[in-house]
Amino acid sequence: MKNSLLYLLLLLVTSCSYLNNNGDRPVARVDDEYLNESDLTGLVAAGTSPTDSLNLVHNYIDSWIQRKILIHQAEKNLTEDQLDFSSQLEDYRNSLVVYAYENILVAQRLDTVVTDLEIDNYYQANQSNFLLKNNIVKINYVKIPVNSKTIRKIRRLFYSDDPDDKDELADLCDQHEAEYYLDDDTWMVFDNVMKEIPIRTYNQEAFLKYRRSLEIQDSLYLYLARFIDFKIKEGVSPLQFERDRISSIIINKRKISLLKSMHKDVYNEAFQKNEVEIY
């Protein structure tokens, strides 16, 4: 069905009705270059409407024609020297070869295990590099449909400090399709929290300093929130918030060191084997 539709579209878009030497049907030509029906394979996804399919095919053909015309025009107006890209292509190929080899070396030899001690030591030595760009918070919140019959019980469990009540609260929310976040240990960017809870404030810093809990209701939901902790932007970012970033930094430093060592070893080995001469 898809091939039949594509064939119909091609007939509508082009007037070509002959096959080339490869038995393929041309759908467009610019000078001596042809765009063939086989080049459009996979362009139209299954289930696409006839109108959208026609537009996709037409736009693709038109884009191909414009590009070929531009290339041919450029080739007509550039000198042979200007059209000689052999040096650039060789440099590009060499870069790809080295890049591929380095990737294989890194995959084989790079140690990607970073211990907590390494992370802690790096953090302590570089705290000035970890300043917050945003206000962050540790928060618990629940989002309950306003017509829920469990609001009273959820509210009681939510404000309880008993760990067992928190487990019961999570179960109750799951049963009644209430959204919740009850992790006491994970830092979150406050701007992201405000996307989940309709908090309105023009001064985040003042809001966080003087609010420990809040309840907000709109036409659909009741939102309960408790702030466990907060950090103001431009202060030193907490270690826990930076662990993944520090781990990536340490691994990247190892990668750079590994590649530098490889370059040096390859260089020295080539001289030792008399594979290199300087005249």
Report the DSSP beta bridge partners of residue 241. Answer: none
Report the DSSP beta bridge partners of residue 103. Answer: none
What percent of the chain has a predicted confidence (pLDDT) above 90? 67
Average model confidence (pLDDT) across the chain? 89
pLDDT digits (tens, 9 = 90+) for 60-73: 999 999 999 999 89
**The pLDDT of residue 13:** 47
What percent of the chain has a predicted confidence (pLDDT) above 70? 91
**The pLDDT of residue 23:** 60
Show the CA angle centred on residue 48, arms to residues 47 and 54, nearest 5°. Answer: 145
pLDDT digits (tens, 9 = 90+) for 173-205: 999 888 999 999 999 999 999 999 999 999 999
Report the DSSP beta bridge partners of residue 266. Answer: none
pLDDT at residue 18 is higher than 90: no
237, 231 Cβ separation under 8 angstroms = yes
pLDDT at residue 19 is higher than 80: no
Among 86, 185, 187, 84, residue whose Cα is nearest residue 136: 187
CA 259/CA 272 separation, integer angstroms: 20
Range 232-238 average pLDDT: 94
The domain locations on the chain are 2-77, 88-131+236-279, 132-231
**The pLDDT of residue 37:** 86
Sign for the pseudo-dihedral over CA of 164, 169, 174, 180: negative
Model pTM? 0.70
For the domain covering 132-231, report its CATH number. Answer: 3.10.50
Kindly tell me the number of DSSP H helices and DSSP E strands found in the chain: 9, 7
Q: 260: which 2 tokens? A: 């530098």
Range 238-244 average pLDDT: 95
CA 218/CA 147 separation, integer angstroms: 12
Among 44, 34, 35, residue whose Cα is nearest residue 8: 44
pLDDT digits (tens, 9 = 90+) for 68-112: 999 989 989 989 888 888 999 999 999 999 999 999 999 999 999
CA 243/CA 247 separation, integer angstroms: 6
Strands (E), the chain: 26-30, 33-36, 136-145, 179-181, 188-189, 213-217, 221-231
**The pLDDT of residue 27:** 86
pLDDT at residue 6 is higher than 80: no
pLDDT at residue 259 is higher than 90: yes
b (16+ CB within 10 A) / e for 38-51: ebbeeebeeeeeee
**The pLDDT of residue 136:** 96
